Structure 1
């Protein structure tokens, strides 16, 4: 299993537009990606509802995880998105 720790950059956190963009990108990956905060159970990164119930706000650190062929590249892609300000893109 591969993991990436990343800080949420969007001012609204992983809600609304940023959640939709991250979920769409995660669902398009060849592996299942989960996301969690240190004190929560992981949720599927490809689920908008899962991302919104995670409650990840601006500046929170989250952990992305995946395994299988292509997992590292998929995590790199998602980590870059989460670390970007998606509020205006």
Structure 2
């Protein structure tokens, strides 16, 4: 296994305070919380990529074009906006 690498990031002061408070509550280091956040983000992104790939595959098999999906999404967003008004 490779040695850990040090990475410097900048976060807003409020976020840094929240992370520090949470780390203290959990008895963990700030680095552990940032590592966990990065892992969760990457897993979530990978999962969404799988979901979109699946949807694209199903759409292709059903003969639904990307433009059809985009139009359906726009129509649904307009309908939701109109219902809120």
TM over 0.5: no
Q: TM-score, normalised by structure 2?
A: 0.26
* Structure with the higher helix share, 1 or 2: 2
Q: TM-score, normalised by structure 1?
A: 0.25
Query: Greater relative contact order: 1 or 2 (C-alpha under 8 angstroms, separation 6 or more)?
Result: 1
